[in-house]
């Protein structure tokens, strides 16, 4: 059996679903961030697989490079905000931080 | 004959990497402690780099290892260590929320499965070039020049923002 | 000089306004660095405003082009220029509002603030012109990342840091989901050009996979425009952010989301020069997308308005009100003809004026009383009749009643639906449009009630202590200008109509809108 496009897509879909579960179920901000990384990696494996089996024109790989850049930016800002939040609240539990209620 | 071995080798490698990636992603999602989840994520990200090599995207494979594993994950671990006074505090929410989330996740997975099976994907059989770095570099400085330059503004904004937020308190 | 270099330099001239903003961004940082020991607040705001002003001046001299530049990365058509102009004016207003109410930021350095406002505006500008997904995603993230930090700019304030954390966690998930959808669109068509990924729609070969991908893409945009069910973050973030930033999110960030939604919808009907509005509507309606927009519009305005009733904080209430306004705007997306786009753009011009006005009152309250709770506004009528008058006019306009600009704006939106219901040859029956219009009218009545709650708190309720409000000359001038604009455009809205008409000129031959109401 040769490994084809669909195999990679299924891996991407599983990672995406796991990432969503992680974002929904985890309580701490860093836990949610782990879920976000899973989702971004799911998008990337799709892009690269499509590039390899579909177009072969490298645009998918270029997009994947930019996704990695954005992931790095997002992670840096998110962790800065999380640490800032920790300095203010003494916790990163998203349920404890509930000054904003409506 | 050598073709067969190449296919066989690829299949074995794919299965091995998939076992690592899916297994560790499951652990990253369901592990009780956030530290364990972060370490599980390490193996997921490494496995992704393996996939990229398998797909002939060697530049991205290296990038994945350097930026994701070497950068983002280390950042994440710093975050875990800096913010957890007691690691026991950082438990998962509750069994109920995990069950509900898993149900949603399974529904999403079923939908995506259907989408993948039915997908009218573009299929050609391109030649895999030996080196992707040169092609990518050329594209980044020609067709994707604007995106390439613009991403430096994005990075600058992220840098300013992150540095501002965690800087020493003025008071 | 090679042909490519010459081409690139020519393209750079076309993005001169954006380059001016980048230069201003650098200048703000350098000024901040040079004046590190002293208070650099005054200097950096003027550098930022000068940069925005230069960019605006350059923009007004531009002729829109339907050509794509930078190898198809962006497309500076009249629609993009329209949105870029209002983004810049919105950002400029936010900068000036911030500088005039420096009390809110008394303990913070402001260099980074203006730099981030500029980078967010830059992101919004490229977003409005995006022609491929890489630029779309990059500019959306530049806008978002800057906004996350700005929302938490009061970093020793707990509510501000909580707002920014909620914002980034929701936002990052939304953009991840969107990226996943884009990857499928890419896989189906093998291209990253937005228009070409909609080829299946045009050819009538759309599949289940296409809808899944498109839905995932809409999730990301729905977050940006705070449409139900991705609206949860809005009130929390608006309440916790420093008020000028809440205003920035309500006007610039939201309209950037709509700009890209509008572009996606129009790209579905690509014509040789510009867009073919009628074809886009036909293709999207054939796939039932107008029903999706119907549901989103009805749910968004109803949820926004109903939850707004219970609010006691003015900023939070304006947050829900901005959700409701996204719902009103989504109404036009069920019809998708030229008149609908005309109404949407007209609404945006008016929405900017009245929302900035209402937020400016909130900014003044926060700067001078330290809170935006309604209970703190008691006796405001005695303390500052001018402020209360301004707020009343802005709220009347937000409700959509004459003689303010909100009236023609909302009337245009409803007229689009009524015309669609009465017109022949529409893809759905009259009740499809009429029912949505009725829901919209009902919602406007509900909104009257909660806007009146603010007015009542300011004028009718008893008070023990007189709130101390002292309006500066700038406060008076800024509020006065917005006040005059809102009333004037309620009576004589020809200039806005002309402005909107030029914005629609790149919508191809079918874009001749029947003018007037």
Interface test with B, best of C212, C214, C216, C229 (most B CBs within 10 A): C212
Q: Which chains touch C (3 or more CB pairs under 8 A)?
A: A, B
The torsion angles phi and psi of C71, rounded to 5 degrees, stand at 55, 40
Which of A10, A65, A86 comes nearest B116 by C-beta?
A10
Residues 6+ apart with CB under 8 A from B160: C29, C112, C115, C116, C119, C149
pLDDT of residue C509 exceeding 50, the answer is no
Confidence grade of residue A100 (pLDDT, cut at 50, 70, 90): low
Closest by CA to B116, choosing from A60, A52, C189, A10, is A10
pLDDT of residue C452 exceeding 70 = yes
Contact (CB, 8 A) for C131 and C72: yes
pTM for the model stands at 0.94
- C341/B5: higher pLDDT: C341
Pairs of CB atoms within 8 A across A/C? 135
pLDDT of residue B93: 54
What would the mean pLDDT of C234-252 be, rounded to a whole number?
A: 95
Percent with pLDDT over 90 in chain C: 63
Element (H, E) at C382: helix C380-383
- How distant is the Cα of C5 from the closest Cα of chain A, in angstroms? 21
CB-CB under 8 Å, A100 with C163 = yes
In this predicted structure, the answer to whether residue B130 has a pLDDT above a threshold of 70 is: no
Structure tokens at C298: 């009805």
**For residue C62, what pLDDT is reported?**
83
- pLDDT attached to residue C89: 96
CB pairs under 8 A between B and C: 105
Q: Cβ neighbours of residue C493 under 8 Å, at least 6 residues apart? A: C346, C405, C408
- Residue C176: the pLDDT is 97
**CA of C436 to nearest chain A CA: how many angstroms apart?**
28
3-state secondary structure of C425: coil
Interface contact C155, partner B, CB < 8 A = yes
Distances from the Cα of C102 to the Cαs of B88, C15, C44, C257, in angstroms?
A: 43, 33, 13, 29
Q: Which of C246, C29, C178 is nearest to A70 (CA)?
A: C178
**SS3 of residue C104 by DSSP:** helix
The token pair at C433 is 């449009």
CB C165 to CB A60 under 8 A? no
Per-residue pLDDT, averaged over C273-300, amounts to: 86
B72 Cα to chain C: minimum distance (Å): 15
Q: How much is the average pLDDT of C474-482?
A: 93
Query: For residue B126, what pLDDT is reported?
Result: 58
CA B148 to each of CA B138, B143, C186: distance values in angstroms, whole numbers, following the listed order: 11, 10, 19
Q: How far is CA B31 from CA A14, B40, B105, C311, C352, in A?
A: 17, 9, 16, 39, 47
Question: What pLDDT is recorded for position C383?
Answer: 86
User: Distance between CA atoms of C182 and A59, rounded to whole angstroms?
Assistant: 13
User: Which residues in chain C are closer than 8 Å to B143, comparing Cβ atoms?
Assistant: 71-72
| Averaged pLDDT for residues C63-69 | 80
pLDDT at residue C514, as a whole number: 37
């Amino acid at each position: 059996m040769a490994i084809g496009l669909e195999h990679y897509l299924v891996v991407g879909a599983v990672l995406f679903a796991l990432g969503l579960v992680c974002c929904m179920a985890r309580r701490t901000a860093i836990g949610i961030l782990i879920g976000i990384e899973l989702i971004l990696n799911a998008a990337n494996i799709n892009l690269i697989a499509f590039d390899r089996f579909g177009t072969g024109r490298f645009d998918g790989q270029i997009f994947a490079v930019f996704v990695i850049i954005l992931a790095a930016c997002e992670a840096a800002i998110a962790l800065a905000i999380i640490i800032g939040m920790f300095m203010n609240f003494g916790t990163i539990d998203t349920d404890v931080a509930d000054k904003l209620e409506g | 004959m050598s073709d067969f071995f190449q296919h066989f080798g690829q299949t074995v490698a794919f299965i091995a990497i998939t076992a690592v990636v899916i297994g560790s992603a499951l652990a990253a999602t369901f592990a009780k402690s956030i530290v364990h989840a972060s370490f599980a994520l390490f193996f997921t990200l490494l496995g992704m780099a393996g996939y990229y090599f398998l797909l002939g995207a060697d530049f991205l494979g290296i990038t994945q290892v350097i930026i994701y594993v070497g950068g983002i994950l280390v950042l994440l671990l710093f975050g875990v260590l800096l913010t957890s006074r007691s690691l026991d505090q950082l438990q998962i929410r509750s069994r109920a929320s995990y069950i509900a989330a898993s149900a949603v996740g399974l529904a999403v997975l079923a939908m995506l499965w259907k989408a993948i099976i039915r997908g009218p994907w573009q299929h050609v059989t391109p030649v895999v070039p030996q080196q992707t770095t040169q092609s990518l570099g050329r594209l980044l400085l020609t067709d994707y020049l604007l995106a390439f330059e613009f991403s430096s503004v994005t990075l600058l904004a992220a840098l300013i923002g992150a540095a501002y937020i965690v800087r020493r308190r003025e008071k | 000089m090679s042909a490519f270099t010459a081409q690139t330099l020519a393209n750079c001239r076309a993005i001169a306004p954006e380059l001016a903003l980048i230069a201003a961004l650098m200048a703000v940082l350098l000024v901040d660095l040079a004046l590190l020991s002293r208070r650099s607040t005054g200097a950096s705001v003027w550098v930022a405003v000068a940069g925005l002003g230069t960019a605006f001046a350059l923009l007004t001299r531009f002729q829109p082009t339907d050509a794509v530049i930078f190898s198809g990365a962006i497309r500076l058509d009249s629609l993009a220029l329209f949105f870029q102009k209002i983004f810049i004016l919105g950002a400029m207003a936010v900068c000036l509002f911030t500088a005039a109410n420096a009390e809110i930021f008394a303990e913070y350095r402001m260099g980074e603030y203006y730099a981030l406002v500029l980078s967010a505006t830059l992101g919004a500008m490229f977003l409005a012109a995006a022609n491929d997904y890489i630029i779309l995603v990059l500019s959306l993230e530049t806008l978002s990342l800057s906004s996350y930090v700005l929302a938490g700019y009061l970093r020793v304030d707990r509510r501000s840091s909580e707002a920014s954390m909620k914002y980034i966690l929701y936002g990052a998930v939304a953009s991840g989901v969107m990226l996943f959808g884009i990857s499928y669109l890419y896989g189906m068509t093998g291209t990253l050009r937005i228009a070409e990924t909609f080829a299946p729609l045009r050819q009538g070969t759309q599949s289940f996979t296409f809808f899944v991908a498109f839905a995932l893409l809409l999730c990301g945009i729905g977050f940006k425009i705070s449409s139900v069910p991705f609206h949860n973050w809005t009130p929390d973030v608006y309440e916790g952010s420093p008020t000028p930033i809440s205003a920035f999110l309500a006007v610039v960030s939201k309209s950037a989301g709509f700009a890209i939604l509008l572009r996606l919808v129009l790209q579905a009907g690509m014509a040789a020069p510009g867009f073919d509005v009628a074809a886009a509507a036909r293709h999207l309606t054939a796939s039932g997308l107008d029903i999706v927009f119907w549901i989103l519009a009805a749910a968004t305005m109803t949820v926004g308005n109903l939850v707004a009733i219970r609010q006691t904080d003015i900023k939070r209430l304006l947050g829900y009100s901005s959700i409701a306004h996204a719902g009103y705007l989504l109404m036009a997306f069920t019809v998708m003809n030229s008149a609908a786009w005309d109404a949407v753009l007209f609404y945006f011009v008016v929405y900017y004026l009245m929302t900035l006005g209402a937020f400016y009152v909130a900014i003044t309250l926060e700067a001078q009383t330290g809170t935006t709770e309604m209970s703190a506004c008691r006796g405001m009528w005695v303390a500052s009749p001018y402020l209360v008058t301004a707020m009343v006019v802005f709220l009347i306009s937000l409700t959509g009643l004459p003689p303010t600009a909100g009236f023609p704006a909302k009337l245009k939106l409803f007229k689009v639906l009524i015309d669609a219901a009465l017109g022949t040859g529409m893809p759905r029956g009259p009740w499809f449009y009429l029912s949505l219009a009725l829901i919209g009218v009902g919602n406007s009545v509900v909104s009257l009630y909660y806007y009146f709650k603010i007015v009542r708190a300011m004028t009718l309720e008893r008070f023990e202590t007189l709130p101390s409000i002292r309006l500066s000359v700038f406060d008076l001038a800024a509020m006065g200008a917005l006040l005059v604009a809102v009333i004037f455009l309620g009576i004589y809205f020809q200039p806005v109509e002309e402005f909107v008409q030029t914005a629609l000129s790149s919508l191809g031959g079918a874009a001749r809108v029947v003018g007037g109401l």
